[in-house]
Amino acid sequence: MATFTTEYFTMTEADAIEYAKTRLDFFDNDAELSCKEIGDGNLNYVFRLIDEKNHKSLIIKQAGPVARISDEFKLSPDRNRIESEILELQYKLAPGFVPKMYGYDPIMNCCAMEDLSDHEIMRTALINHKKFPLFADHITTYMVNTLLLTSDVVMEHKEKKELVKNFMNPELCEITEDLVYTEPFYDCPRNDVFPATRDYVQEHIWNDKELQLETAKLKFEFMTNAQSLLHGDLHTGSIFIKEDSTKVIDPEFAFYGPAGYDVGNVIANLTFALANAKYTIDDAGQRTDQMEYLQNTIIDIIDLFKEKFIRSWEENASDRTARYEGFRDYYLDTVLRDTAAVSGLELCRRIIGLAHVKDITSIEDAGMRSAAEKLCLTAGKRFILERNNLRSGEDFIKVIKESIENI
């Protein structure tokens, strides 16, 4: 029988049940447990345990030594500690928008957390063309609270520097540096380009020296700008949602970086959903309705983020120099610039690179899929190159609409 107290091993479903019984003080003594491994991501093992007798459930998430997507990626299991600690911190900063944590185990590299099975993964819901009218309000509150309140604008600087040290995450940052900022912008052997789109990628992405230069600038800014404590992978697959609730999960890529990285990821992944709607919904009225919902959501996220950011700044800014006239607007402009840039990087890398999104890969017709990919690449390139000029929701959606028109 496993003891779970001496050395790490990758758990099975039976092991997870035994672990819950012996190492967690969550289930009742008479619990009748069942377990299913439900992880469908690129990195981890996720076990859902249910006690039908007492109507209780939880999630155990275990980090392995290599990524599930490819054993080329050797990963520190410390990412599980990072995820556990950041969820506890974000639960305080943005209550109601992250799952509750029940414990972290450094030997088994696992954590136990609230089961969100009454929610659904947002990416899946959007592929099914559902709508969530409260999402823009929820996600902007989450982002302002977690990004601004962990910055030097608000925090005592030595305390913030301690967090920077605590959330050093070199292995997962390296994945981001490679898969987001580097490999998509040249003909890297690890890229995975849909054949019908490859010529377009060659001409408009890989052959564009200006684009390569701008992505190099962005990569080094990403590596050196310890602005805010990021989620680091805030896409619609990392969000559980229902009509009246939004929960952000999987912050294992968390580290201190440019705040716009999180905001841009949200915008890009809503753009993937928009491309899916355009190229998969046959009924014209339904297609227009879903696309308008997504366009309005993108506009609202940018504009609500700005509005809440300014309000929170006025309420919470503690550094004297942050109160100098004009500095707040300058600072917010840099966040919006990075938001645009990362929107573009994410749109390009999910089409060209190793890790794709189901919004696009689930489009069965090859011509339609290629058109959706070209839409994303066109918008992505413009977001990167025009990042200094995009400051409102309307600015962002104009790029997307014009990219649709040009395909």
Over its length of 407 residues, how does the chain's per-residue pLDDT go in tens digits? Answer: 568 999 999 999 999 999 999 999 999 999 999 999 998 766 789 999 999 999 999 999 998 776 555 566 556 667 788 889 999 999 999 999 999 999 999 999 999 999 999 999 999 999 999 999 999 999 999 999 999 999 999 999 999 999 999 999 998 899 999 999 999 999 999 999 999 999 999 999 999 999 999 999 999 999 999 999 999 999 999 999 999 999 999 998 999 999 999 999 999 999 999 999 999 999 999 999 999 999 999 999 999 999 999 999 999 999 999 999 999 999 999 999 999 999 999 999 999 999 999 999 999 999 999 999 999 999 999 999 999 999 999 999 999 999 999 98
The DSSP bridge partners found for residue 44 are: 63
Half-sphere exposure of 348 (CA within 13 A, CB side): 31
Distance CA 193, CA 249 (A): 28
Place of tokens 């573009």: 344
- Cβ atoms of 280 and 291 within 8 Å: the answer is no
What pLDDT does residue 167 have?
A: 93
pTM, rounded to two decimals:
0.92
Q: For residue 20, give every residue at least 6 positions away whose Cβ sits within 8 Å of its Cβ, in sequence order, or none.
A: 26, 27, 33, 35, 49, 58, 60, 112
User: Is 253 within 8 Å of 172 (Cβ atoms)?
Assistant: yes
pLDDT tens-digit readout, 163-196: 999 999 998 899 999 999 999 999 999 999 999 9
- 3-state SS, residue 32: coil
Q: Which of 269, 251, 264, 297 is nearest to 146 (CA)?
A: 251
Give the chain's domains with CATH numbers: 13-114 (3.30.200.20), 120-405 (3.90.1200.10)
Provide the pLDDT for residue 63: 86
Torsions phi, psi for 243 (to 5 deg): -55, -40
Query: Which residues lie closer than 8 Å to 340 by C-beta, 6 or more apart?
Result: 260, 264, 383, 384, 386, 387, 390, 396
For 104, phi then psi, to 5°, come to -130, 140
Q: What is the predicted pLDDT for the residue at 42?
A: 60
Contact 45, 15 (CB under 8 A): no
Q: Residue 59: left (phi > 0), alpha (psi -120 to 50), or beta?
A: beta
Q: The tokens of 44 are what?
A: 């981890």
> Is residue 276 a contact partner of residue 245, using CB atoms and an 8 Å limit?
no
Q: How many residues in total does the chain contain? A: 407
Cβ-in-10-Å burial (0-12, 13-18, 19+) of 173 comes to middle
pLDDT for 77? 63
Q: Where are the beta strands (DSSP E) in 244-381?
A: 245-248, 256-257
Looking at residue 235, what DSSP letter applies? S
d(C-alpha 334, C-alpha 69), whole Å: 33
* Single-letter amino acid code for the residue at 91: Y
Burial of 404: CB neighbours in 10 Å, binned 0-12, 13-18, 19+? middle
In 3D space, the residue among 265, 256, 277, 274 whose CA is nearest the CA of residue 237 turns out to be 265
User: Burial code of 113-152, b = ≥16 C-beta within 10 A, e = fewer?
Assistant: bbbbeebebbbbbbbebeebeebbebbbbbbbbbbbbbbb
Yes or no: say if 183 and 201 are a contact pair by the CB < 8 Å rule.
no
Residue-level pLDDT at 80: 81
- Give exposure, 230-259, as e/b (b: 16+ Cβ within 10 Å): bbbbbbbbbbbbbeeebbbbbbbbbbbbbb
